[in-house]
Chain A
């Protein structure tokens, strides 16, 4: 694991030095603006608007970082040939991939944690008081983070065998399809032959099912997030990510570098 740690630490350092975390400034400005605006235009629903806006921003910003940086993790190293010297060391290719994945997930964790802190500050500034249900925001943020880890794994997989542009398209496509995966499993009101239905259900199980990771509605309205859902989502994300990363490692282990 020493090799994985070294690659992960360097990936995190790269993100910090390449000013990836500067997106937090944008997030902070947006939350400050929203807090000021919400106080003026909405009566009684300030809290809901701030939570909804904050969680959406955490998710969208995280998805952008996960897709674009996830694809660049490997393709940039290959394009710039920084990988050559590294792979000539006693480092297995899967260790390099796993290190890159862990490094970006570390970056996303710091980024998401900072944005969550910003969300709580904005919430305090409009309400000047905490509510017991505010703790559920943490569960929503945690589930967003799991979703981002799955997206990073997919971006890594695609970047291992195709161009960065196509890898971005494929990853974004998988994300959108993943939002609809649940619908594919429960198609109602459409007349389809059983073969097509089976095929659609089969496909839906290959897609990442992001439906269970979206608890924003419940959190905004002060409802709790069931612990069982958190466990299930954690297990699902862990397994899905592990399978996708294994696929990426298999593809990358036979990849000819240019």
Chain B
């Protein structure tokens, strides 16, 4: 009782997987995860086990921005903590830049931003970055220049002498980002990097991620803000209930076929007895109507004849959010079915 868990199972060798990739002529991925699982003991005497992550296998390619999506408690942070060796897997293994995650030297080439980062609040932003830089073999002058540059990059150069205990959540997030990319890592892992940021802060983080991509770095970030993922990611993986449910480019995951057309137009006066208006939603003089693609041209002709001003015509596509919600709801339905059959 009161004794924290210290369980750890020996990971299976991943060399065979690497050999397989090699034999298939596939280049080495920046992050390779193979059958990674994590169980947490709970209950009296910790005899029961809860699966937090189940048989996760995926690759993040070199130089890509990969979004790890999932609702709260889906297993995103667990995966990232396993990669960072903050927790240990029950089964499976992973490699980053070809090195096993058991190899501490691997950390020299990766940067990590924890979820809701906390740092030593008695230090200033400059001191905390200088402290972290000391673990990367840099000389004092080089370190000072790098820290200054990084503070400027995340917009904290004017607040660098203030202790972190006086920082806002957004400012702490920036310190977290700065320490993650301080040493020019090849792989950057960000756990909910937009969390707690205002729109300006989110924009700045997005810009930093895009800049990292331009510099050829690999970025893996977890989020449940789907618009961010759609905007930034080459590929996304969707994890629900500890299992990977889908992986691919955002456009591949959702059915890219248009589900119809949407016309936005302005109409006033005599044209208002148009039949099309029965299907439309109105805001002032503006109307929005959705209709099958086959009816588009006839509708445009009718609108033109009625004197309407066409503002936009757009395809209606399912969003990543709809795809995501579909997976989450399917998972919930499955869970409740299991519960009912269990009763």
Contacts and interface: CB of A to CB of B under 8 A. Distances in A.
Given A13-B122, A256-B87, A89 B4 contact: no
B135 A3 contact: yes
Contacts of B113: 85
A89 B107 contact: yes
B2 A85 contact: no
A85 B135 contact: no
A106 to B, nearest CB: 16
A166 B107 contact: no
B6 A87 contact: no
Interface stretch (A76-84, A126-134, A221-229): A76-84
Interface residues of A, number: 30
B180 to A, nearest CB: 8
B42 interface: no
B122 A17 contact: yes
Given A85-B119, A255-B6, A10 B131 contact: yes
Interface residues on chain B, size class: 35 or more
A161 B85 CA distance: 17
Interface in A3-49: 3, 6, 10, 13-14, 17-18
A255 B4 contact: yes
Interface of A: 2-3, 6, 10, 13-14, 17-18, 80-82, 84-92, 161-163, 165-166, 251, 254-257
Which 4 residue pairs across A and B have the least CB separation, nearest first?
A: A88-B112, A89-B135, A84-B114, A17-B122
Given A82-B119, A82-B120, A254-B6, 11 more contacts: A10-B123, A81-B117, A84-B86, A84-B114, A87-B86, A88-B107, A90-B136, A162-B3, A162-B4, A255-B6, A256-B87
22 contacts: A13-B123, A80-B118, A81-B118, A82-B118, A82-B119, A84-B114, A84-B117, A84-B118, A86-B132, A86-B135, A88-B84, A88-B110, A88-B111, A88-B112, A89-B107, A89-B132, A91-B107, A91-B135, A161-B4, A162-B3, A163-B2, A254-B88
